[in-house]
Copies of this chain bind each other. A is one copy, B any other.
Amino acid sequence: MAQTAYEAPLGLMQAALAQAARTTGALELDGYEEALELAPSVLENAARFAGEVLSPLNRVGDRQPARCEAQGVVTSPGFPAAYQRFWRDGWVAMGAPEDRGGQGLPTLLTSVATEMWAGANLAFAMCPELASGAMTALREYGTAELMAHYEQRVTSGEWATTMCLTEPQAGSDLSTIRTRAEPDGAAWRLFGRKIYISWGDHDLTDNIVHFVLARTPDAPPGLKGISLFLVPKLMPQADGTPVRNDVRALSVEHKMGIRGSPTCVMAFGDSSGARGWLIGPLHDGLGCMFTIMNHLRLGVGLHSLGLAERALQLARGHARERLQGRNAAGAQRPIIEHADVRRMLLQMKSLTQAARCLAYTTAATLDVAQLATDPQFSAAAARRADLLTPVVKAWCSEVGVEVASLGVQVHGGMGFIDDAEISQVYRDARIGPIFEGTNYIQAQDLLGRKVLRDRGATLRALLDDMQAAARGLPEQASEPLHRLRAELIRGCDALRTASDHIVAAAGGEPELIGAVAWHFLQWLGVLAGGWQLALAAQALVAKAVGAQAVADSVKHAQADAGTARAIIDCAVFYSAHVLPRIHTHAAIVTRGAAPVSAASVADL
């Protein structure tokens, strides 16, 4: 079966990047435009690395997964060498400040690269993804000694990092963590088991720096008694030579997908205790851990997006080559000529581009929150990024599963055979809705925290912006985009009404959030995807936005005519085939908790 390497869709990525920078106000930040001028060359280099180095290893990781040997975890052939090139070429540190050896590139730009790594090889891409969060945590909470020893190597990616949270009895609920840390002079000794540790052990780097949640002897019970510790695989001795710490991988899980990524059961302190150093305040480990994890939810969205793009590429390539049926002249037709196949490809592409624009917009909003000098502007961006992050994680990951499944369907029987990379994409994509907080946890965060805490104010501001964008589309019924305009405006009104009702009712209905949050998030996700495609189409419809906006769009997006046509097609298709989902989500959310709460649990 002819299969091609991952090819980053640079035109669509640049268009989404330019739109995110422009519409969030990030472009007005000091130095941002200059940073974005590097985008074309940075992204071309990243695209080359993704296509030439990472993509060919994707099937290898699936077929020859990492395995646990006596000396530790041995990764798939080619992974260690690729990783060495990856960090030495500066890809891990691209977002780190220049005074820390990085390139100081904005989150918007590193996000595009993250999409590429995941599209080419998600299992590999998961290894370096903690570096920037770990660096931030070290700078914020690390002692001078820890900084001196770890910061530069963690930032560059020379040493890898892990996040050790989950235990057999403690998954979504971390309050029951049992791993214990006992004081040992200036440091600690840790004892316990952790499960589902991504890249918990491997041979990609000389050392691995674990960030571990544990409970100290005096700690209060529950979430308020958990502390965060840095536990290196190799510790420095007084003379500088490294010595093995008492931490090791006991086994590697056999998983449905992302098989090239070793998911480990980790043992801390099987003999004398794993030496660890406290990070941040005692008993406030969760706060510190969230600093590390903050970007991960955006990362899952970007991963899912990368897989969706990869599924589209594989399906489109297959649909152009595979002959079935005949045209009027009796010649065999490639299946892309069949309307239903084009329907599936358009569904894949419009969902992928909508998710891309939304994820990049969230990245640019994080840049504004971090870099804007006007405190009001910065705070508003922070609130919006807070609101959008769970949507990006949970909506884009559902999109990833859906688009991968459509990719299998376009392949027909071949899609079910392991030889076809699309079957791997389908299996890989299924982790998205599960990890870094299940999609329900995201939905609960969105509705139960982000919406309720300001009684819907941040959401209303977003909906106002979405409706303003819709009003920029043509109103005449003869224009293909007028339905996107009308449906978006109406859809935002309906969501605003539903949200007002939930804000008012949640206090009195204990199961309301639980019963409707998942659909509420997906509803907002579908609308937000439509908003993003409305912005994209708007920028290309000259009459509607005036010459300057078009000039800007062309300048930053460098959208060629084909990219422009593809974006308009996506917007029109999305309004016809995806946006109507809002009616389903709206009907479900509006019904409230009753259909769930009234059902008999015993008879389930």
Q: Report which A residues bind B (CB closer than 8 A).
A: 166, 169, 171-173, 175-176, 196, 253-257, 316, 323-326, 332, 336-340, 342-343, 345-346, 349, 401, 405, 408-409, 412-413, 415-419, 423, 426-427, 430-431, 433-435, 438-440, 443-444, 480, 511, 513-515, 517-519, 562-563, 565-566, 569, 572-573, 575-577, 580-581, 583-584, 586-588, 591, 593-604
Contacts and interface: CB of A to CB of B under 8 A. Distances in A.
B417 A438 contact: no
A140 B480 CA distance: 55
B345 A604 contact: yes
A350 B325 CA distance: 38
A409 B433 contact: yes
Contacts of A346: 595-596, 599, 604
A-side binding surface: helix, strand, loop or mixed?
Answer: helix
Nearest to A322: B171
Contact of A576 (B415, B443, B591): B591
A104 to B, nearest CB: 35
B416 A569 contact: no
A255 B417 contact: yes
A135 B530 CA distance: 54
Contact of A171 (B254, B324, B417): B324
A171 B412 contact: yes
Contacts of A405: 401, 430
Contact of A604 (B169, B336, B604): B336
Contacts of A409: 433-434, 438-439
Contacts of A594: 480, 576
Contacts of A569: 598-600, 603-604
A575 B598 CA distance: 14
Contacts of A581: 584
The 5 A-B residue pairs with the shortest CB-CB distance, nearest first, are A339-B514, A580-B587, A583-B583, A576-B595, A569-B599
A580 B595 CA distance: 13
16 contacts: A171-B412, A171-B413, A175-B326, A256-B416, A256-B427, A339-B514, A339-B596, A340-B514, A342-B596, A343-B515, A343-B518, A343-B596, A409-B438, A572-B598, A573-B595, A583-B587
A196 B418 CA distance: 13
B423 A408 contact: no
B332 A176 contact: yes
Given A438-B412, A584-B580, A565 B603 contact: yes
A591 B343 CA distance: 13
A438 B322 CA distance: 15
A380 to B, nearest CB: 30
Contact of A435 (B172, B413, B591): B413
A443 B325 CA distance: 16
A587 B431 CA distance: 31
Contacts of A401: 405
B515 A339 contact: yes
A17 to B, nearest CB: 19
B514 A172 contact: no
B599 A572 contact: yes
Contact of A342 (B169, B253, B257, B604): B604
Contacts of A566: 600, 603-604
A517 B416 contact: no
Nearest to A349: B604
A412 to B, nearest CB: 6
B417 A430 contact: no
Contacts of A430: 405, 408, 416, 426
A432 to B, nearest CB: 10
B340 A518 contact: yes
A529 to B, nearest CB: 14
Contact of A416 (B175, B255, B323): B255
Contact of A255 (B418, B480, B513, B517): B418
B413 A340 contact: no
